Every structure is written in structure tokens, then in C-alpha cells.
Structure 1
């Protein structure tokens, strides 16, 4: 899944989260990323509390994937609470979601064309 992380880093921008920075591209990307990863690979969306906020990530075939964990300084104490697309959408908006869908697909296609 390292190639997926690479594609996400190329896809994230200020258009996918207002918290995005060059220094920390994954900042604020958890909800929108969990949605796009579920679109592409299926599985379930989970959440855990980090500070006062919910943090979203994916489970695919029973394996947990958190592609945005490096936005946090401290290790995450995962609670693995089942979540939903509706909850993850509360962390983003339609414009950010559509932008990440398009960017992710564009990078996925360009990589598969190279191989």
C-alpha cells in the first residue's frame, strides 16, 4: 500500500483540505481520504478520538490502514470504532471530496500507464 500513500501525497492539496500545508500534506485529510479509499478499495471506515476531534481511517479485508496518521505528533491510541460515510463526510465537503476523487484517479491512471 506504499504506492497508495504516494498517490495520496500527490493528490492532496488546499483543494482537498483547508488545513493542507507543504510541510504536512496529510493535515485535515482524514475524512476525505477515508471516503476516497473506500470508493477505490471497498472495506469499512473507522474512527478514533484524537484530542477533541474524530480521526477517520479504513479497514480493508480486516487490515487497518491510516494514510493520514503522520499529521499527528503523538502516536494514535486507536479505538477502532465503526463509522460511516455520513460521519466521514462531516469532516469534509462535496467540493473537497470531488477534487480528491479526481486527483487520485488521475495519479492512479498515470502510474498504471507507466507500468
Structure 2
């Protein structure tokens, strides 16, 4: 992935951090904002950058993340204290959506787009 895509991921990550809340996951907390956000976040990243959605089985259940141009991007890894042994099981939008709901998805997508639009107006984003 080139520098352009890395810059996009960084901008999306910043937008996600500002957007994650109890409106995007019932498991959210100030101490652990990424908790419960994996499915909805994987969907938003997939909306914005394409690629594939993959999953790995953890004690709490399936954990979703993205693979773009062959590179893994787990934007919710900060919710875990332990390292993850990634299985990279192919997944899809329907499976990731089973980890969220329409209200949470719509909220997070709109919030991230608003954050990115604000960045774009300032000339720091090129999606």
C-alpha cells in the first residue's frame, strides 16, 4: 500500500476515534472506546476504501477487520490487551453486520463522513 493509502487510513482512524461512542456500540466506554466496534468499523472502512473483510475467532466471538491490497488493517485492535493470532478467515459485509445494527452503522458512517469532510475542507484528506 502506498503512502497515499496510509494517509487515508490515518485520517479514517482519527475520524473513528472521534466518532466511536455508545451510539456506535453498546460495549463502548471511555476507558476502551474501540470495544465492540470491530464489525461496524470494518464495514465503514470497507465502504470508504474497499478491500476485503476478514475475521478471527477470539474468546468473545468473531473479531472483524479489513484487508486492503493484501495488507491487514485492524483499526479496533486497541480494545485488546493481549496480542491477536490472526486467522484471516474470509468474511463479508453480512457477517460483519451481524456484529452491529442499522442504527449504529448509520450513526458511525455519518459521523466518520462528517469528520472526513471537515478534514477535506482543510485540505488534509484526499479520498
Instruction: Tell me whether the two structures share a fold, i.e. TM-score over 0.5.
Output: yes
Bin for the TM-score computed over the shorter chain: over 0.9
User: Which runs of structure 2 are paired with 1:51-62 in the superposition (5 Å)?
Assistant: 51-62=59-70
User: Which structure 2 residues correspond to residues 1-115 of structure 1 after superposition, within 5 A?
Assistant: 1-115=9-123
Write the distance in 2 (CA, Å) between the matches of 1:106 and 1:3.
12
Structure 2 distance, partners of 1:105, 1:2, is: 14
TM-score (norm 1): 0.97
> By how many angstroms is 1:52 displaced?
3.8
TM-score by length of 2: 0.88
* Aligned residue pair count: 115
* Mapped partners of 2:117, 2:14: distance in 1: 13
Structure 2, gaps ≥5 residues long: 1-8
Give, in whole Å, the separation in 1 of the partners of 2:26 and 2:66. Answer: 22
